Amino acid sequence: MNIKEIAEKKKKLTSGHRMCGGCAVPIIVNTILSSTDDQIVVSNATGCLEVASTIYPYSSWNVPWMHSAFENAASSISGIVAAYEALKRKGKMKKEVKFVAFGGDGGTYDIGIQALSGALERNHNFVYVCYDNEAYCNTGGQRSSATPFGASATTDPAGSVRPGKLEFRKDLVKIVAAHNIPYVAQASVSNLPDLSAKAKKAFDVKGPAFLLVFSTCPTIWGSKTEDTVDIAKMAVDTCIWPLYEIENGKYKINYKPSNKRPVEDFLKSQRRFKHLFSLSNKKIVEEIQNHVDSEWEKLLQLET
| pLDDT tens digits, 82-99 | 999 999 999 999 999 999
- Cα separation, 101 vs 209, in Å, equals 10
- Cα separation, 291 vs 122, in Å, equals 34
Average pLDDT over the chain reads 96
- pLDDT for 185 equals 98
Average pLDDT, stretch 3-10? 81
| pLDDT tens digits, 23-72 | 999 999 999 999 999 999 999 999 999 999 999 999 999 999 999 899 99
Those residues whose C-beta lies under 8 Å from the C-beta of residue 196, and which sit 6 or more positions away, are 1, 3, 6, 31, 32, 34, 35
Burial class (CB in 10 A: 0-12, 13-18, 19+), 282: exposed
- Cα separation, 178 vs 180, in Å, equals 5
Is this model's pTM higher than 0.95 or not?
yes
CATH 3.40.50.300 fits 3-302, yes or no: no
Query: Does residue 3 have a pLDDT over 90?
Result: no
Burial class (CB in 10 A: 0-12, 13-18, 19+), 115: buried
Contact, 72 vs 113, CB < 8 A?
no
3-state secondary structure 53-115: HCCCCCCCECCCEEECCCCCHHHHHHHHHHHHHHHHHCCCCCCCEEEEEEEECHHHHHCCHHH
| pLDDT tens digits, 140-158 | 999 999 999 999 999 999 9
